[in-house]
Structure formats: structure tokens, C-alpha cells
Amino acid sequence: MLDQYAIKIIRWPLKTLSALPDKLGITANQVTVTGFFIGLCALPALALQQYTWALCFIIINRLFDGLDGAIARRQGITDCGGFLDITLDFLFYSMVPFGFVIANPEANAVAGAFLIFSFIGTGSSFLAFAIMASKRNIESPVYKQKSLYYIGGLTEGTETIGCFVLFCLLPHHFALIAWIFGTLCWITTITRIWAGYQTLK
């Protein structure tokens, strides 16, 4: 829901930051992979309940995720880059609640499982429509610079990042936040299925 506004705010800073790695010959895919491995460091930090460190790794991962797109727009957007980016994004998204489950399985296991379950809904509805839209040459009217058709919803990347920040700032309320955000994700999934089906129909 907020991505279309967040993109307008961060577009210029990311475009400016992307000039140096582009000049150094660093590719968008290298930034994608590096950001993913930095993000993976959040898992042991969460498991050890080092939530400040986990938040730092999450923020750096998301910064790299925005930076790789800016570099790709300089160097040329590719299908393999888009594939790599979205795949590692969804793996990262599911890793964060899993880290909280490891940290406190008694309190967080069911809520964490529900959130990951909801991510399957948002992710599959997002990707399945992108495949069909690509076959029919349907382009997003809002996210024209994306490598995939970016179908929106109540919970998108910006909201997910905000949720992860709340998790790290309020770890003892993880379960409550996860239940609420997971429910919002299911609203997103249902609306995406309806809109996608009607569009393709």
C-alpha cells in the first residue's frame, strides 16, 4: 500500500548512491547476493535475542535491496537479476519470523508459523500473477521500472519492513504483532487473488 509513496522518497538517494558501485564495476547481482548474506546474519542475532544487532542487519539488507535495483537501472534490468532479487527477498522475509521462533519457541512458534503461512499467500499470489501478466505482456501502470509485474496490496515491502522493525524494538510483543500483520497479509492475498483473476479473466 505504501510502496508507491516510499519509492518516490528513496528513488533519488538510491540513484545517487548507486553511482559509485556502478563506476567501480560492481553489478546489481553482486549487491543482491551480498545484501542477502548480510541479512542472514540477522538469524543468529535473533536466535541469541540480540535484537539491536538483528535490526541493523535487517536494515542493511533492505538498503542493499533498494540499491541493487538502482544499479540495475543504470546497467540494464535483466530477467536473471529480477529472479535472483525476488527469490532472495522472499527467503529473507520468511527467515525473520523464523528467527523469533528460535529465540522463544514457547511464546512465538504458533504466531511465527502463521506469519510465514501468510507470507506464502502474499508471495504466491504476487508471483503467480506476475507470470501470467508477463505471458500476456501486461505492464504495471504504477511500477513500470520493475522486472516483474508488481501487483499491490495492503501489505507490501514497506509495511513488511515496518513490521520487522517493530519486532526488533518490541520483541516481547512479537506474537501479537505477527498475528495482526499475518491477518493483514491474508487480506492482501485475497484481494490479489480477486484482482488478478478478474484481470486475467
* Domains assigned to the chain: 3-200 (1.20.120.1760)
Quick one: which of 134, 106, 101, 140 has its CA closest to 117?
Answer: 101
pLDDT above 70 as % of the chain: 90
List pLDDT tens digits, range 71-88: 998 888 888 998 999 999
Q: Cα dist. 13→19, 29, 150, 165, 171 in Å?
A: 10, 20, 22, 21, 30
List pLDDT tens digits, range 156-190: 889 999 999 999 999 999 999 999 999 999 999 99
Query: Can you give the pLDDT at residue 78?
Result: 87
Specify whether the CB–CB gap between 96 and 163 falls below 8 A. no
List pLDDT tens digits, range 22-73: 888 899 999 999 999 999 999 999 999 999 999 999 999 999 999 998 999 8
- pLDDT at residue 150 tops 70: no
Query: Can you give the pLDDT at residue 4?
Result: 66
